[in-house]
Amino acid sequence: MALNINVPQANQTLAITQPLILNNFNAINTAFAVDHVNFNDPGQGKHNKITFPVQAVVPVFAASDLGLFSFLNTTTTKNELNVYKANNAGYVNVPFTASTLSNSAPVAGGSGWSYLPSGLIIQWGTATGINSTLNATVLSAAIPFTIVFPNQVLSVQISLATVGAVKGIFTSINDLTTTNFKIATFRTRSAGLSNPNNFYYFAIGY
């Protein structure tokens, strides 16, 4: 059922335009019923749900407007809900449903990442550091983030995860980039020097 926007014409009688106008009302009612409470039902005008068709290109919004849209995300290869929002530099598109969960089930002790609606990205995972030198600082191998932070890493937190780990281990984050980081370990006790120490990490950036 198509909407006919060319009725009534000046030279058309009511007998001619009545079926065309009725057709238009039916077309409007059918279109309005999509995702909306029906005209004659309680709560009319409200939404039952909101459906976002996938956009072929990123839509353009008017200045100062905010918006939501669905778009194929290149990182997750899934259609993600995006928010067009303001930040300190202007306006940005944030794929705030994009996450490692878009592609795989969560794994305890595993790694992953997720966007937040603000545009921040959180990442988590595990890492290993080995220090076999007493009273010295040793850097681990580079520990890659699951995805690259597009702009900047704001913070990385680590916590010791090894069961029965040797005491006297002090750690810090070194050589931090948007793609990876290293764990610096300093050991003050000699017992178990050859044992690797496992860590959990949590990073946030944008």
pLDDT digits (tens, 9 = 90+) for 43-88: 988 999 999 999 999 999 998 899 999 999 999 999 999 999 998 8
Q: Determine the 3-state secondary structure of 105 from DSSP.
A: coil
What's the topology of domain 106-205?
Answer: Immunoglobulin-like (2.60.40)
Q: Determine the 3-state secondary structure of 138 from DSSP.
A: strand
Amino acid 34: pLDDT: 92
Residue matched to tokens 């449903």? 97
d(CA 93, CA 60): 10
d(CA 74, CA 119): 16
d(CA 140, CA 35): 54
- pLDDT value at 167 more than 70: no
Structure tokens at 114: 């997720």
Give the start-to-end residue ranges of the domains of the chain. 1-48, 52-98, 106-205
How high is the mean pLDDT of the chain? 89
Dmax (CA) for the chain in angstroms is 101
**DSSP structure class, residue 147:** S
Amino acid 191: pLDDT: 66
- pLDDT value at 162 more than 80: no
Q: In angstroms, what CA-CA distances link 175 with 105, 139, 181? A: 31, 9, 5
Are the C-beta atoms of residues 104 and 188 closer than 8 Å to each other? no
